[in-house]
Amino acid sequence: MDSLVSTEWLAGELGASDLRVIDATIFLPGSGRDARVEYETEHIPGAVFMDLDEIVDSASPLPHMLPPEAKFASRMQTLGLGDGSRFVVYDNSPLHSAARAWWMLRTFGAHYVAVLDGGLQKWKAEGRPLESGSRQIRHAHFSPMLDQSVVADLDYVSGIVHSDAHEIVDARPAPRFTGEEAEPRLGVMGGHIPGSRSLPQTELFSPDNSWKRGDALRSAFEQAGVDLSRPMVATCGSGVTAAVLLFGAHLLGKEDVKLYDGSWAEWGSDPSTPKATGAA
């Protein structure tokens, strides 16, 4: 199974005994939208709802930090997401949050994980079937194996600020990167990590919400000033859209990318970290 699958492919695979479809929609605080309510209203047949706001490290004051292995395994088992299954993740969010679920599943050891190209938006535009409500789920066994090598923390990022050997790439909208627009979370300053590049995650998508591919995708990184030959750290507001940049790099065959899990929610609220404003 490819990392990116089409709506046509998924429509042909629905009902396969080893296939699990996952709705990983999430929204920014204050958006006025409720991902779980929207899932229960309509979703791809057979999909389960992966609550990215709840599958977190509840001991951390930061949003969306990776949970402990035991908690992740417990949540996956409750959702019927077990070892050996093929997972297809989609969303219906401007944050393209399926990429975060894809990254989390892979980071905890899942082998067969794909993102649905175009998400629910494209699925609906094509008139494909939907269902509503919640569903009975048969528990499955998930064996977590957390790969810490793909996760960057505050100390790691602090050590590569202004490094010519690395790239730090920020997925937030440009006005938040420059500090012109306030952050959606209280207590978080505006601006960006010094030396980082601004690549809003929306730049990786075509007008129909499908992923850019090949030269068009590569050009999005290059136009942002990102040197793809260097190891990269992806960051954003809370580690969700950073996964979009990481998945985009993956589509280009680039795997030397870490995700800064604390992202700007951590960096921007820490008085000891250096901060920059304006364009990069």
Question: What positions carry a catalytic annotation?
Answer: 236
Query: Rounded to whole angstroms, how far apart are CA atoms 194 and 111?
Result: 35
CA 139 to chain centre: 25
Strands (E), the chain: 4-5, 19-23, 48-49, 86-90, 113-116, 151-152, 167-170, 197-198, 232-235, 257-260
CA–CA distance from 24 to each of 116, 233, 245 (Å)?
Answer: 11, 23, 17
Q: Taking every pair of C-alpha atoms in the chain, what is the biggest distance, in angstroms?
A: 53
Q: Taking the CB of residue 269, how many other CB atoms lie within 10 A of it?
A: 17
Query: Rounded to whole angstroms, how far apart are CA atoms 140 and 162?
Result: 45
Q: Determine which helix (DSSP H) or strand (DSSP E) holds 73, and give its type and residue range.
A: helix 69-78
Pick the closest to residue 35 from 19, 20, 54 (CA basis): 54
* R_g of the chain, CA atoms, integer Å: 18
Q: Categorise residue 37: left if φ over 0, alpha if ψ from -120 to 50, beta otherwise.
A: alpha
Query: Rounded to whole angstroms, how far apart are CA atoms 26 and 170?
Result: 19
CA–CA distance from 226 to each of 6, 111, 219 (Å)?
Answer: 28, 29, 10
The answer to whether 43 and 131 are in contact (CB under 8 A) is yes
